[in-house]
Structure 1
């Protein structure tokens, strides 16, 4: 996409109502490699895009949102996880998943590599695949590189549930949906996950639905 076309797209989004519509699976923008962000947008436009993404993520609600999910093919994502108890979750689930509060942050041009071969398997969902979840293996610890919204370098290790969020959102920027990595036989409606499979680890779901718990990332 040319800089002019990108600018027009972002201007149209900023002129509309917030939150922005979330693009659902089947739209080609979710399957495209995004463009690295290299200052294509003016400071005000870029700030406006980040604010729109934050509002859209919070209203959904979600714990992360990638720019392609609102139709913008840029390598930018936002994450935030209050790690609060919600229906279908428990303190034990938070502990087992190593889910801890994450303040709002912006990931610009993020990349990750595994720093530990260990993987964890849990039900995972996506705002672009509403109403469904599936068991997905993710690395338990990753090395995150990139920048923040001010151009400051990110170079850190992330583990537990925050690492899962980083992997999920960065995958979006490479045209990958979590379903590409999921154990498809585990696919369940969110209602079933809350009513039947709310255990901290999805062992009961694996037995009942007949799938092995993934132990490696693919």
Structure 2
């Protein structure tokens, strides 16, 4: 039997978070909640509270703005994330990065596995590491398995930028930040990325900063 969600500490924590209108505060690197494995979701939040929490995650993601947000990033150690990317990018960027629109969806207890050996390296940022980006090589295709907020199964193969988003957000639920996977010599402020490294691919940055791609 699922626990009485009204009595779980996580439910009380979420209720407290939702007591304030507007976007939720985003936890930043150095907070232990970002470094532990999140608890699998198993009814800790009753459906109505889960719906409210998911909506708050979506509002917070949009306000940041970002293309994904995991529950630990607002201090809640549950395996829940939301993703959405309208992908408003130039055609050359779309082609180079595989950045295509990703409709809003909720991922409950997601896991991923690579599909094939191909990897792709691009600059990546994180709402919990504000102001910085670094190049991360990730699987170019992954099989994502999860449930949605209604418990319906999700099982699909993602490629390009949607695959990157799914990996990034699922990593959060395992206590992994993108910096753990990054080429640390590529670490650049947002301002420098815009000024120097805004090309569709990071080859120029790799040459100038001295890090490998792949």
Q: Is the TM-score greater than 0.5?
A: yes
Residue aligning to 2:41: 37
Report the counterpart of residue 193 of structure 1 in structure 2: 193
Cα drift, residue 137 of structure 1: 0.3
The answer to whether residue 9 in structure 2 is matched with residue 5 in structure 1 is yes
List alignment gaps of at least 5 residues for structure 2: none
> If the length of structure 2 is used for normalisation, what is the TM-score?
0.95
Counterpart Cα distance in 1 of 2:70 and 2:175: 11
Give the superposition deviation at 1:16. 1.3
Q: What per-residue deviation string (whole Å, max 9, x for no partner) do you get for residues 92-124 of structure 1?
A: 112210000111100000000001110000000
What's 2:82 paired with?
A: 78
SS at match of 1:138: strand
1-structure distance, mates of 2:84, 2:39? 23
Instruction: Say what the alpha-carbon RMSD is for the aligned residues.
Output: 1.1
Q: With structure 1 as the length reference, what TM-score do the two structures score?
A: 0.94
Partner of 2:176: 176
Matched positions, count: 209
- Name the structure 1 match of 2:210: 210
**SS at 1:185 equivalent:** strand
**Deviation at 1:4?**
2.2
Question: Structure 2 matches for 1:146-157, cutoff 5 A?
Answer: 146-157=146-157
- Secondary structure at 2:163 match in 1: helix
Q: Distance in 2 between matches of 1:91 and 1:187?
A: 26
Greater shift in the superposed pair: 35-44 or 67-76: 35-44
Matches of 1:153 and 1:12, distance apart in 2: 29
Q: CA deviation at 1:141?
A: 0.3
Q: Secondary structure at the match of 2:179?
A: helix
- Structure 1 range deviating more: 90-99 or 145-154: 90-99
Tell me by how many angstroms 1:210 deviates. Answer: 1.1
1:146 CA drift (Å)? 1.0
Structure 1 ranges of 4+ moved more than 4 A? none
